[in-house]
Amino acid sequence: MSLKELTKDKHSEAEHTMFMQSVIRRSLPEAVWADYVFQRFIIYSSLEAVARDAGLTTDLPGMERAIKLFQDAMERCGGDFPGIRPETVEYSRYLLGLTDSPEKILAHLYTLHMGDLHGGQEIKKIIPGPHRSLGFDDLDGLKTKIRAKLNDSMAEESKVAFDWIIRLLNIYNDQVGIQQPL
């Protein structure tokens, strides 16, 4: 089985959150997307810092997204950033605590960055505005290089990453304007 197959249920759960269903329905309020982009900037900053420190990104040129997320958030928020959500702080702390666990760091890189490399490409077609963080110079090459670092033993930690992201997506439930997921 592949890591993708082993985490299929969690991926489906994330896709079926009210947040993502609102994206698909093109009904997500811009302010909610802007807040989410800012929260992702904080999370990716933490993840990419521990990945760099562990030497996991040296052969992944163009993978880092944090600065691009900051640029997207700056444009979307006009410099008036939302507060950092408690869930964002907790997830960032969790990531920063993985300094001695390269495989766990890779599981989070896989979950978040492959999401950008796949579903993010569809999202940028749906949500108008800046998407520097979803633009890649070598999309297919980066996917191949990330996959080469993976193994099935990372499935449980990838599921942990999905749980953190699902938790973050669910904080917006009262703002997305739909009552039931598709």
- Residue 81 CB neighbour total at 10 angstroms: 17
pLDDT per residue as tens digits for the range 99-121: 999 999 999 999 999 999 999 99
Domain map of the chain by residue range? Answer: 3-173
Residue 70's pLDDT is what?
97
CA-closest candidate to residue 104, choices 37, 147, 157: 157
Say if CB 36 and CB 172 are below 8 A apart: yes
- Write down how long the chain is: 182
- Domain at 3-173: CATH code: 1.20.910.10
Alpha-carbon gap, residue 56 to 20, rounded angstroms: 29
CA-closest candidate to residue 51, choices 180, 161, 181: 161
Residue 176's pLDDT is what?
84
Would you state the structure tokens that stand for residue 57, as one six-digit string? 């990104």
Confidence of residue 178 (pLDDT cuts 50, 70, 90): low
- What is the average pLDDT across 173-182? 66
Say if CB 55 and CB 109 are below 8 A apart: no
